[in-house]
């Protein structure tokens, strides 16, 4: 069940809405930190290797090549890939919270027109 579905089935209270606002603030801050960390990692690793990692991340390598490539991953490569995975999850969660707010505000507009 998505965050959006859950919040509307249960109905949002003021404290729930504040929780979501706080969540947005925390998500945005964490995303900003990950962007800074990603830039530092890219500088450390180098653009050529990062291009290879992007191919790997996007699953564009043939299966044989991917298997060999996994064996060449070092600590910093893995940290960058972990950064991308975390960033992807955070962006997804942030989008879900945004949709929840849009639906909430949309429903409030409809409710106020019918009063």
Q: Give the separation between CA 15 and CA 51, rounded to whole angstroms.
A: 45
Q: Give the separation between CA 102 and CA 69, rounded to whole angstroms.
A: 43
- The pLDDT of residue 112 is 47
Q: How confident is the model at residue 11 (pLDDT cuts 50, 70, 90)?
A: low
Q: How confident is the model at residue 115 (pLDDT cuts 50, 70, 90)?
A: very low
Helical H runs in the chain?
3-10, 14-45, 47-57, 63-72, 75-113
- The pLDDT of residue 114 is 45
Contacts 24+ apart (CB under 8 A), 67-76: 76/41, 76/44, 76/45
Pick from 1-5, 30-34, 67-71, 84-88: least confident: 1-5
Write the CB contacts of 76 (distance below 8 Å, at least 6 apart in sequence): 41, 44, 45
């Amino acid at each position: 069940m998505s965050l959006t579905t859950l919040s509307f089935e249960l109905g949002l209270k003021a404290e729930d809405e504040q929780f979501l606002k706080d969540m947005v603030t925390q998500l945005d801050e964490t995303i900003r930190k990950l962007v800074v960390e990603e830039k530092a990692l890219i500088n450390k690793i180098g653009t050529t290797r990062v291009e290879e990692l992007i191919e790997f991340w996007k699953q564009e390598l043939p299966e044989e090549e991917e298997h060999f490539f996994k064996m060449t991953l070092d600590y910093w490569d893995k940290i960058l890939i972990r950064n991308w995975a975390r960033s992807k999850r955070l962006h997804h969660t942030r989008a879900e919270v945004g949709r929840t707010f849009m639906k909430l505000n949309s429903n409030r507009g409809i409710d106020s027109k019918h009063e």
